[in-house]
Chains A and B, each alone.
Chain A
Amino acid sequence: MLQAFIDGLFVVFQWQTFLMMLLGVFIGFWVGLLPGLGGTTTLALMLPFIYKMTPAEAFAFLLGMHSVVSTTGDITSVLFGIPGEGTTAATILDGHAMAKKGEAGRALGAALMSSLIGALIGAFALALAIPVVRPLVLSFGAPELFMLAIVGIAFISSLSGQGGRALLRGILAGLVGLMFALVGQDPQAGILRFTFGQLYLWNGLDLVPVLVGLFAIPEIIDLAVRGTSIAGELPHENLGRGVWVGVRDTFVHFWLTVRCSLAGTFIGIMPGLGGGVAQWIAYGHAVQSARSREERAGFGKGDVRGVLGPGAANNSKEGGSLIPTIAFGVPGSSSMAILLGAFFLLGIMPGPDMLDKHLVLTYSMVWTMVVANIITVAVSLFFLNYLAKLTLIRGTVLIPFILFFAFIGAYTSNNHLGDLLVFLAFGFLGYVMIRCGWPRAPLVLGFVLGRIAENNFYISTIRYGPAWTLRPLVLILIVLTVIVVCFPFVRFKGKPLMGESLS
């Protein structure tokens, strides 16, 4: 096995394979930066080009591209408050807030370094887990996957603010997100729900216009209201110099980065959950790491830990989601489903053969993810200082371009004008939620998990009846949900609420 591991590295450095990987990295770099282009769509667009490649070249090309998309997507999220990728929305909350405080360089440094560590941990988890992951995946049936979704929503809701009122709003936002996920054809019987006679809504609401609207519109309004650049009128001397501070932050909070990477890997392994979920769970965990109410109140306003968590998780989940794809032919996400298509195009069957006959190829995939991310981060670090200075451009110059990319980003999800209406409607909702102190993160997680939760809830009820609630793992997850909801109250019991200590 060790020999195969080393051989995998040599395969990546064969010049044709390496060149293909570089080409993939180059494409992935720009796909991640531009909000209008999604990693999954681009992966699908690139499939026809792999016909004449060897398997090693093809996977170096596809994985080289796919594994850096989240890394560079963080750059757009931090600088402009638009999610460069659906998987990088959580980075906006604190990353863009840091950019507005004149700390864009630091936020970018932290995002890139945590992304690199996340990618490395995800890749090595893939290398180590392939032989042992089977029992873990098989122990999670529909009831457990449903409860896992509930734990996720409870987790992010309980960490979305201070006190019982914030918890109430967090849970409400999560339930609203679940409700929005139900729009469209019912997956069991094909009956239309909440479509109001609109053909566009038959397939449900797409994640991209929802995310872009929720996050970009409030940021654009705020930028217009301030009438300044993103970094405002703060002193700009440190703007581009903070990159190495951000890199250092990653090592100061190294264990948080590692824990979030492991959480991302675990979520990646679970079929059906994906990067959209991993980033928010990691963000929730980063918030949970706050030691006091004052520290927690700093999240959403530019705490570097709010960048490190999602940055690490949205990259580590790539390694995780490759595990069930390679080992069992069960794709962990939509992009992995496309990658599965690449396996078949190349005449390779995922499954036991990947751990035996094609073990070197499997390890070459691991190395591709490692090398591609190292190259991307190294190249990016050279000009992050210049990128950070984009936050000095006047708001009046930036706004038409941000609106342009936001509209295009929303439109490209279905190439339908309805996407633009959804984008604006969710933009309005995002604005109102912020005005009223409702957190947006639980809504997004509820929306992402809605379909998965419904399918698994339905299967659990039909297959096991009420008895599914008594399965051992389900009971553990129910207890975990209760702990997750009560933990913030217990942890901060007796400690003053934010503001009390100051007054």
Chain B
Amino acid sequence: MRRLLSLGSALSLATAGVGGYALYASWSWPFRTALFPRVIALPLLFLALIELALSVWSAEGAREGRAVDFQFTDTVEPVLARKRTIAISLWTLGFLALIVLVGFPLAVPIFVFVYLRIAGREPWALTIVLTVVAWLIMEGLFDRFLHLPFPEGWIFALWT
């Protein structure tokens, strides 16, 4: 049961779901539109189900399946690691919410300031200097010099 509920099983199931949905969606498409998605989706569904079965029923050897990719740090206590992962995920989502609400030019200095003070517990002087640096890069380089079109925040859009 534990293996069935593992993250690996969930990923395999989601992958199989992508393959299955692609086959289902391609049903209503003309042949030339559906041809390639079907060619990809069929083996995707089949192999994902094999991977799912392997995840559930076969114990993965410590040596098998290691990806040539970077590995997460395993020297931090798991409970603390989970707590920090959730915290940084919330900060990231908070940054996105801030960008949507007040727009990039304001969100960047606000986020840098709040993160440095609250999450980083950095001293006031360093926090202020780095916030100004972030604002200068945002305003000077991306906004004034490169003229990137940053959308207005939703809050300001209410007044315009």
Contact = CB atoms under 8 A, between A and B. Distances in A.
A426 interface: no
Interface in B36-63: 36-37, 39-41, 43-44, 47-48, 50-51, 54, 60-63
A172 B48 contact: yes
A368 B28 CA distance: 53
A93 B70 contact: yes
A179 B11 CA distance: 15
A399 B115 contact: yes
B87 to A, nearest CB: 7
Interface in A166-192: 166, 168-172, 175-176, 178-179, 182, 186, 188-189, 191
Interface string B6-39: 0110010001001100100100011011011101
Chain A's interface: helix, strand, loop or mixed, by majority?
Answer: helix
Contact of B44 (A179, A297, A403, A427): A179
A91 B60 CA distance: 29
A264 B63 CA distance: 32
A458 B71 contact: no
A159 interface: yes
Interface in A197-243: 217-222, 224-227
Contacts of A424: 92-93, 96
Interface in A8-38: 36-37
Contacts of B138: 404
Contacts of B67: 160-161, 166, 169-170, 300, 433-434, 437-440
Interface string A375-402: 0000000000000000000101101110
B19 to A, nearest CB: 8
Interface string A147-177: 0000000000001111111101111100110
A437 B67 CA distance: 5
A437 B62 CA distance: 11
A189 B69 contact: no
B33 A499 contact: no
B4 interface: no
B111 A404 contact: yes
A218 B70 contact: yes
A97 interface: yes
A415 B92 CA distance: 19
B51 A415 contact: no
B51 A435 contact: no
A163 B65 contact: yes
Given A169-B51, A193-B33, A224 B18 contact: no
B63 A163 contact: yes
Contact of B66 (A182, A404, A498): A498
B100 interface: yes
B63 to A, nearest CB: 4
Interface stretch (A62-70, A113-121, A327-335, A405-413): A405-413
A461 interface: yes
B149 to A, nearest CB: 5
Contacts of A427: 92
A378 B32 CA distance: 52
Interface string B80-98: 0100110111011101100
A483 interface: no
A434 B25 contact: no
A497 interface: yes
Find the residue from A93, A221, A424 having the highest chain B CB count within 10 A.
A221
Contacts of B30: 189, 191
B119 interface: yes
Contacts of B37: 179, 182, 193
B134 A441 contact: no
A432 interface: yes
Nearest to A502: B63
Interface of B: 7-8, 11, 15, 18-19, 22, 25, 29-30, 32-33, 35-37, 39-41, 43-44, 47-48, 50-51, 54, 60-73, 75-76, 81, 84-85, 87-89, 91-93, 95-96, 99-100, 104, 108, 111-112, 115-116, 119-122, 126, 130, 134, 137-138, 142, 146, 148-149, 151
18 contacts: A160-B68, A161-B68, A166-B67, A175-B47, A224-B87, A225-B84, A227-B84, A300-B67, A300-B70, A396-B119, A396-B121, A403-B95, A403-B111, A404-B137, A435-B72, A458-B35, A498-B66, A500-B63
